[in-house]
Structure 1
Amino acid sequence: MDDNSLTSSCGSGDAKESKCKLSSPEHRDQLIANLDRMRIDSSYSDVVIIIDDYKFPCHKVILAGGSPYFRSMFASGMEESRKRDIEIKQIDPVIFGLVIHFIYTGNVEMTASTVHELFVQAQLFQIFQLVELCVKYLEKSMSESTCLAAMTLAEAHGHNAMYNFALQYACIHFDTVKHDEDFVKLSSESVIDLLKDRRLNCNTEEEVYEAAVKWLDNDVEHRKSFRYKVLSCIKFPHISQCYLVDTVIKAGHLNDDQRGRELLDEAVLYHTVPSRRHMLPSYQLSYLSAIVQARPTVMG
C-alpha cells in the first residue's frame, strides 16, 4: 500500500505510550465502491424502491444513514418500515437513480436539464449536501436565460441564499431578462422584489413600467389585485411627462385605485410644480444615478 494513502495523528511523549490515529482513504473509497456495487448487483439488499416500472434494490441501513426521509420511514412503525417493496409515486425514476447513487457514493452527475428536478428530490429526501451541490451548479452556470427559473425554484423551496443570488443576477441583467419567457411566470412577490430592487439595471423608468405592465397583462384576471403593489415599485416622477400622460395615465391601470391615483398625482405634481417636489415621498425621489452607484460587479 502506498504510504500516501495513509493519514495519521500521533500524540507526543513516550513512543511506547503515545497513541496514533491512522486512517486509510483507500479503504474508505473501496468500501463505498463495494457498497454501490452490491446495490447494483442486488447483493444483500433488504428493500426495493419501486417507481413506475423501475425497481431499485437497496439496503435500508444505507438509505437511513444517507437520508432523514428514509430514516424516519423505516423507524416510524408505518407499513413501509415492514415491507420489502416500497412504492414511491410522482417521482422521476431517472432522477431518483441519481439520488440513490449520491446516497451510496457522495457523487452525482447533473446537467442543466436535470438539476432542477434533482434539487426538488434532494429537498424531498432531505439530503442537504446534495441540495447544496445543486445550488452550486445553478449559481456557477447562472445566465440570463436561467436566473428567473432559479428564482422561482428557490422561492418554492425556501432557499433564500439561492433566491438572493438569482435576484441579484436578474437585476444586473434586467435589460435581457425582462424579455425572457420566465419573466411573466414570476410570482407577484418575486416580480415586486425585482422591480423595487435598487440594483435594478435600467436605462429609464419607462422600461421598468413596461416590464410591470407586461407581467400584469399576462394574466389580467388573476393579477388585477396586484396592480397597485406591482406598479407602486415604479418611480413615476422619473418617467417623462409626455410618457406619463400619453401612456401611463391613458392605460388606466391605476385609475380604479385611490392609492394608485395618488401615485400618479404625485408624479404630475413633480413635473408641473417643481417648487413642491420636496413634499413628495423620499422613495419616489430616489435618483437613478443612485441606483447605478449601488450596482454590484457584473457577474457572467
Structure 2
Amino acid sequence: MEEPLSDTPTVVGNDLYMQKYTDSNFTSQFLTGLVDLKNAGKFFDMNICVGSTKIPCHRIVLAAASDYFRSMFGGTMKESFTNTVTIHDVEPSTMECLVDFCYTGSVVVTEDNVTDLLKASDVFQFPTVRESCCEFLGKKLHPSNCISIHNYAESHSCTQLVKTALTFIASNIVEVTEYPEFLTLGYDIMRQIMSHSEVNVDKEENVYEILLYWLRDNISTRSESFCRLMECVRLPFIRRIYLLSKIETNPLIRKSSLCQRLVKETRMFHTCMLDLQDNASIRLQPRPSTGIAELLIMVGGCDENCDQATSIEAYNPITDSWRRLAQFEGNLRGGYAIVTLGNDIYVTGGSQGSQVYSRVWRYNSQVSEWSEVAPMLLPKEYHGSVVLNSFIYVVGASGCECYDFLLDRWTMIASLPHPVTNCSVTSCLGKIYSIGNAFNSEEMIIQVYSPETDSWSVLPCPLPQMNFVPHITSLKGLVYFIREDSTEVLTYDPTSFKWSKIPPMLQLHLGGSAAVFNGSVIVSGGYDEQFGLAGTIEAYDPDKKAWSVIGMMPRPMFWHGCVSIYRFVSTPTGLKFTADADLHDLTPLLKPPAS
C-alpha cells in the first residue's frame, strides 16, 4: 500500500510538488464503520416511528442516501429539528429494509415484501431499490400473474416493467387466456397486446379468435371496442377461405364501416391491388411466430471484378441471415428492371452488347422456380418497372407498356412526352412517377402518369444538379429521391406539392439499389465515399426520421436489383388457441332481451 504523504510539502525549485493520495478502501471501510455504529447503537440522533415500531438511525445517513429524507431534514419542516419522525402507510419491516439499505447499499427482495418494498422505495426515493423490485417481478412473471403485475407496474409508473410484462403477455397469450384475469382487460391494454409483434400464435386466425373470445365475455359493452381492435389483427395474413367464411360473416364486422374498410384492404392485398408502399402499416408485417416473414431480395448485380451475378439472395431480418434462392436461368447482363407483383418477382428486358431484350422472367416464390412469361411488345434497356393496381408498368425511351398477369398479356400505353435515358420509376397515390435524363442533355425530367386518363404530365423539377439519375421510391404518400452522387435525399408530397430534405444517408451508395422493406426505405450496396465497394444496407424510418444500418449484403455488389416479398420461411413456432365450438356464433348474444 502506498505510504501517506508527509505533512511537509516537497519543494522542487520554485514549484511546489504535491501528490494526491486516495485510499481505495476508504469507502468500504467508512460504510463498515457506519454499520458497526448502527449495530452498537452509537450516536443515534433520531427515531423513525412506524406504528408501534421505533427504528433508531443517524439523520445524516438517511439524508445522504435518499433525496426524500434530505429534503425533509434540510428544510423548514418540523422533522428537521425533532428527534422523532412518524411514517404512515408503510409496513415496519419494509421501513427497516430501507433504513438498512442506507447503511449497507443492499436489500433482500422476496415474494412477500416485493410489492410493499417497491411502493415504499418509490415514495421515499430509493431508485435503485425500486429497480431491483421491478427486476425481481420481471423474473417472476407467469401466465397466472402477468396481468396483475402489468397493472401494478403501470400504477407505479414502472415503465420498463410495464414493457416487460406486456411482452410476456403477448409471448404467452394462449396460456394467459386460460386465466380469468384475461377477460377483465380493458380496451387500451388489449390494443397494446393485439398490436404486439411478439403475439405467439401459430397463425393469425388465432389472434382474431382470441379477440372474439374476449368480446363474447361482455358483448354488450365491447362491440365498439371489438371493431376498433380489428385494426390490430393482421388480416392480410389470414387465409382467404377463413376471411370469407368466418370474418366476413361476423354480424358486427358487417355493420362496421371501419371493419369493412379493413376487409376491403385485405381483399386488395390478396388480389395484388393494394399499393404496399402507400399503405405501409403494422398490419402488413407478419408475426414471427407464424413462420411468415417479409424478405429482402437481391437480384443480380456486379462484384468488384465486374463479374455479373445470376444469384438471387433473400435476407431474413428476424434471423439476420441470407439464403440463396433459385438461380436465374437466363443472364442478368445489364439494363434490366425488377419488380414484385404479389409475392412473385418479374425481371424485364435488359441488354448484352448491342442486343436489347424484350423477354420477361417470373420467379414464383411458392415453388421457387423461374419461368418465362409473355415478352414485352418492344425491347427495353435501362428502363423502369413498377406495379400499380395489380398491373406491371414498364417505362422507357422506347415506349411504355402495361402487363396483365391474369391474361399474360402486354398492351401499349401513352409514351413519355419527353423520352429519357436511365429511367427510374415508382408509384404513389395512384400515379406513376418517372425521372430520367433528357436525350442529349443533363437536364432531369420528372413525368407523372395517370392510368385513368392514360396520359403523362411534366412535374416542375427543383432538384439540384446531379451527376446521376437518382433512385426513386415511395412510402406512405411521399416520393423519395435518393441521390447516387451524394448522401442527400429529397422527398416530394403529391398532396401538398411540397419538396423537402430528410436527414442524409449514413454513406454514399453509388450504383446501389433502393426499395421499401419492413416499413422503411432501404438503400443497399454500391460504392462509398472512399470508392470502395460496400455491402452496407441502411434503412430510413419515416417515423423516427433517422437512418440506421440494418445488415450487410452477403457480398458487396453494385447495379443489383432490390425488392421484397412475403414468404413462409419456417414451421410456425407459436401455440394454437383452442376455441369453443360456438365461438363464431354471436347471434344468441346479440338478441335483445325478452320483454
Pairwise TM-score range, normalised by the shorter structure: 0.7 to 0.9
Provide TM-score, normalisation by structure 1. 0.72
Quickly say closer, same or farther: Cα 1:83–1:209, change in 2 above 3 A: farther
Which secondary structure state, in structure 1, belongs to the residue aligned with residue 201 of structure 2? coil
**Partner residue in 1 for 2:122:** 123
Question: What percent identity do the matched residue pairs reach?
Answer: 23
**Partner residue in 1 for 2:293:** 290
Contact 1:152-1:187 within 8 A present in 2 as well: no
Provide the rounded CA distance (Å) in 2 between the counterparts of 1:63 and 1:207.
Answer: 53
Task: Choose 1 or 2 for highest CA Rg.
Answer: 2
Quickly say closer, same or farther: Cα 1:86–1:211, change in 2 above 3 A: farther
Q: Structure 2 counterpart of 1:163, which letter?
A: V
Q: How far 1:132 moved relative to its partner?
A: 2.0
**Partner residue in 2 for 1:24:** 25
Q: Structure 1 counterpart of 2:71, which letter?
A: S
Quickly say closer, same or farther: Cα 1:163–1:296, change in 2 above 3 A: farther
Quickly say closer, same or farther: Cα 1:33–1:197, change in 2 above 3 A: same
Answer yes or no: is 1:278 the counterpart of 2:274.
yes
Which deviates further from its counterpart, 214-223 or 101-110?
214-223
Contact 1:200-1:295 within 8 A present in 2 as well: no
Provide the rounded CA distance (Å) in 1 between the counterparts of 2:236 and 2:215.
Answer: 21
Contact 2:43-2:58 within 8 A present in 1 as well: no
Q: Structure 2 counterpart of 1:278, which letter?
A: L
Provide the rounded CA distance (Å) in 2 between the counterparts of 1:141 and 1:56.
Answer: 31
Q: Structure 2 counterpart of 1:27, which letter?
A: Q
Contact 2:265-2:274 within 8 A present in 1 as well: no
Summarize the alignment of residues 188-207 of structure 1 with structure 2, pairs less than 5 Å apart. 188-207=187-206
Which secondary structure state, in structure 2, belongs to the residue aligned with residue 290 of structure 1? strand
**Partner residue in 2 for 1:11:** none
Contact 1:63-1:70 within 8 A present in 2 as well: yes
Contact 2:227-2:258 within 8 A present in 1 as well: yes
Provide the rounded CA distance (Å) in 2 between the counterparts of 1:137 and 1:114.
Answer: 11
Provide the rounded CA distance (Å) in 1 between the counterparts of 2:180 and 2:199.
Answer: 19
Quickly say closer, same or farther: Cα 1:243–1:7, change in 2 above 3 A: farther
Which secondary structure state, in structure 2, belongs to the residue aligned with residue 201 of structure 1? coil
Q: Structure 1 counterpart of 2:22, which letter?
A: K
Q: Structure 2 counterpart of 1:113, which letter?
A: D
Contact 1:198-1:294 within 8 A present in 2 as well: no
Provide the rounded CA distance (Å) in 1 between the counterparts of 2:98 and 2:231.
Answer: 44
Q: In angstroms, what is the RMSD of aligned CA positions? A: 4.0
Which secondary structure state, in structure 1, belongs to the residue aligned with residue 54 of structure 2? strand
Q: Structure 2 counterpart of 1:290, which letter?
A: A
Quickly say closer, same or farther: Cα 1:213–1:67, change in 2 above 3 A: farther
**Partner residue in 2 for 1:49:** 49
Which secondary structure state, in structure 1, belongs to the residue aligned with residue 108 of structure 2? coil
**Partner residue in 2 for 1:74:** 73
Q: Which of the two has greater strand per residue?
A: 2
Where structure 2 has 5 or more consecutive residues not aligned to the other structure, the ranges are 5-11, 296-315, 321-572, 574-595
Q: How far 1:27 moved relative to its partner?
A: 2.1
**Partner residue in 2 for 1:111:** 110
Q: How far 1:103 moved relative to its partner?
A: 2.2
Which deviates further from its counterpart, 162-171 or 221-230?
221-230
Quickly say closer, same or farther: Cα 1:78–1:29, change in 2 above 3 A: closer
User: Residues 148-190 of structure 1, C-alpha deviation per residue, up to 9 Å, x if partnerless?
Assistant: 4443333333333333333333333333234344434555433
Which deviates further from its counterpart, 101-110 or 76-85?
76-85
Provide the rounded CA distance (Å) in 2 between the counterparts of 1:115 and 1:223.
Answer: 35
Summarize the alignment of residues 167-182 of structure 1 with structure 2, pairs less than 5 Å apart. 167-182=166-181
Where structure 1 has 5 or more consecutive residues not aligned to the other structure, the ranges are 9-13
Q: How far 1:99 moved relative to its partner?
A: 2.1
Q: How far 1:130 moved relative to its partner?
A: 1.0
Summarize the alignment of residues 144-293 of structure 1 with structure 2, pairs less than 5 Å apart. 144-186=143-185, 188-217=187-216, 226-240=225-239, 243-244=242-243, 248=247, 252-254=251-253, 257-267=256-266, 269=267, 274-275=270-271, 277-278=273-274, 281-283=279-281, 284-288=283-287, 289-290=292-293
Provide the rounded CA distance (Å) in 2 between the counterparts of 1:228 and 1:31.
Answer: 65
Quickly say closer, same or farther: Cα 1:250–1:130, change in 2 above 3 A: same
Provide the rounded CA distance (Å) in 1 between the counterparts of 2:294 and 2:188.
Answer: 21
Q: How far 1:253 moved relative to its partner?
A: 4.5
